[in-house]
Amino acid sequence: MEAATTKPPSHCAGTYGDDGDPDPFQWDTREDCEVRQILDRVADKWSLLVIALLDRRVLRFTELKREIDGVSQRMLTVTLRQLERDGLVKRTVHPVVPPRVEYELTPLGGTLHTTIRSLVTWTEQHQNEIAAAREEYDAREATTAVA
């Protein structure tokens, strides 16, 4: 029998600098790193929206699809499966006809929602500054394109 070849999450120990702070450049260069894989998953726009919508409530697939503008049925299915695999979302199938499937955050997913809420709050607080920066950038680019 062959030994397992999957490395534990600790195999990314080199993603921290000498000062103990995370080094994001290591995450970009080490594709096999668990940290990068997790960040890719939770930072995905569909995952963020699903986690935000499931805050303190249970929703059916059709309710999630209706609430998330632009998501395809396939993409929502893939997103929910990945979040379930990562232990962030719990899927419950009720044995009725037709089957009723509900989704909710796990306790782990709830802790992630707290972080997402902080990100949304920051975005709301700084949206005017970001809009002004975009306008300034676009004006500079328009001037450069004409010259």
Helix 34-42 to helix 45-53 angle (10° resolution) is: 60
pLDDT in tens, 86-119: 999 999 999 999 889 999 999 999 999 888 888 8
137 alpha-carbon distance from chain centroid: 28
- pTM, to two decimals: 0.69
Tell me: pLDDT of 10 over 50.
Answer: no
Query: In one letter, which amino acid is 116?
Result: I
Dihedral-angle region of residue 56 (phi above 0 means left; psi in -120 to 50 means alpha; beta otherwise): left
Residues in the chain: 147
Give me the mean pLDDT over the 53-65 stretch.
Answer: 95
